[in-house]
Amino acid sequence: MFRTRLGIALLALCSRLMAASGNFHFGKVKFEPVDTFAYQIDTKDPGKPMTVVVLTSFKIDKPAAIEAIDPAGNIIGQTGEKGSAVIVRLVAPDKCGLSGYLAPTAKQIDLGESFTAKTTVSNATRISGECATTKPEKMFDDAYDFRLPYDVALTPIVKPTPVPADGGDPGKAYVALVKAIQSSDWNVAHLHLSKEQMPDPKPKAGDLKNYFEGLALNYPKTAKVTAGLMKGNFANIEIHGTDHDGKKIKGYVAMKKVSGQWAVLDQSLYFEQ
């Protein structure tokens, strides 16, 4: 009799633990969250920050997320080719929104802010509750439903600061890189390029021209920094300029200070409308 009761008790406990793990389904992607990261972001009301909870199908590199200017964006960058990350926005004690990135199908999603939230603990150090659909939903051809419980400490995040009007050190480094690419100046360019764009070894004198001509296709011909944010060794700057055909462009550049020099991590350039 004792063993029977113990077995029933263990089965009930396991059922509760399985239920607490949560689940997410969108189209062909299904996963049970294995890691959670929560923090607060500013809203239009300085006295009412919004809590953000990120749930993932992989182990989060939390120090990297803390160091980043955009923690959620950094975690999405950690998804690689197989991971998935969903971002719960607690817009009210009983309402939540959800967005995310699903690497298996290469889909970035935002499902709005009309889902049901159940908040059990909400203070300056912890958030506990659940964000869930009340019934299966559909977005175009993809059916989705989820139940995402969380009980996690809020991680303090240092806020980034605006760059100076001239772009500060990261902005100056990017403008110097653009000029160096146009003039085929290896000595300056190699200080500010990402590792992926740095040939090893250095191209021979006869190949440098072709190397810079190829590089110039992916960088502005002229650039001016108009805004940006800095945090520690990271910076995100906004630029306006022209491309190699003289067309007006704008873009966003992520930079990191490496060995005392600001180098490009990534950039997205667009034609100005």
pLDDT attached to residue 30: 97
**Do 136 and 74 share a structural domain?**
yes
| 13 three-class SS | helix
pLDDT attached to residue 3: 44
Q: Is residue 3 assigned to a domain? A: no
| pTM of the shown model | 0.83
Predicted confidence (pLDDT) per residue in 116-142, tens digit: 999 999 999 999 999 999 999 999 999
pLDDT attached to residue 15: 34
Predicted confidence (pLDDT) per residue in 138-181, tens digit: 999 999 999 999 999 999 999 999 999 889 999 999 999 999 99
Question: Which helix (H) or strand (E) covers residue 89, if one does?
Answer: strand 84-92
Q: Is residue 5 assigned to a domain? A: no
- Which among 137, 153, 169 is the end of a domain? 153
Task: Residue 93: give the domain boundaries.
Answer: 23-153
CATH of the domain at 257: 3.10.450
- C-alpha–C-alpha distance, residues 148 and 21, integer Å: 8
- Which among 115, 131, 153 is the end of a domain? 153
pLDDT attached to residue 235: 97
**Do 249 and 197 share a structural domain?**
yes
Q: Is residue 254 assigned to a domain? A: yes
- C-alpha–C-alpha distance, residues 262 and 257, integer Å: 4
**Do 132 and 39 share a structural domain?**
yes
**Do 210 and 135 share a structural domain?**
no
C-alpha distances in angstroms, 166 versus 104, 119, 226, 234, 244? 41, 44, 8, 17, 23
Q: Is residue 9 assigned to a domain? A: no
Fill in the DSSP letter of residue 69: S
**Do 149 and 27 share a structural domain?**
yes
**Which is nearest to 263 in space by CA: 170, 165, 186?**
170
**Do 115 and 194 share a structural domain?**
no
pLDDT attached to residue 125: 96
Predicted confidence (pLDDT) per residue in 91-106, tens digit: 999 999 999 999 999 9
pLDDT attached to residue 12: 39
Q: Is residue 15 assigned to a domain? A: no
Please say whether the beta carbons of 193 and 177 come within 8 A: yes
Q: Is residue 44 assigned to a domain? A: yes
Mean of pLDDT over the chain: 91
**Do 149 and 252 share a structural domain?**
no
Q: Is residue 252 assigned to a domain? A: yes
Q: Is residue 6 assigned to a domain? A: no
Please say whether the beta carbons of 191 and 261 come within 8 A: yes
pLDDT attached to residue 169: 97
Cis peptide before 201 (omega within 30 of 0): yes
CB-count burial class (<10 Å; 0-12, 13-18, 19+) for 119: middle
For the ranges 11-25, 42-56, 244-258, which has the lowest average pLDDT? 11-25
**Do 143 and 85 share a structural domain?**
yes
Q: Is the pLDDT at 40 greater than 80, yes or no? A: yes
**Do 210 and 111 share a structural domain?**
no
**Do 62 and 182 share a structural domain?**
no
Q: Please, which pLDDT band fits residue 201 given cuts at 50, 70 and 90?
A: confident
pLDDT attached to residue 2: 38
Q: Is the pLDDT at 5 greater than 60, yes or no? A: no
C-alpha distances in angstroms, 38 versus 44, 62, 116, 177, 188? 20, 10, 18, 37, 40
- Which among 153, 183, 210 is the end of a domain? 153
**Do 57 and 128 share a structural domain?**
yes
- C-alpha–C-alpha distance, residues 28 and 91, integer Å: 28
Strand arrangement, sheet containing 161-162: 161-162, 222-231, 234-242, 248-258, 261-271
pLDDT attached to residue 74: 96
Number of domains comprising the chain: 2
**Do 171 and 87 share a structural domain?**
no
pLDDT attached to residue 206: 83
Predicted confidence (pLDDT) per residue in 205-243, tens digit: 889 999 999 999 999 999 999 999 999 999 999 999 999
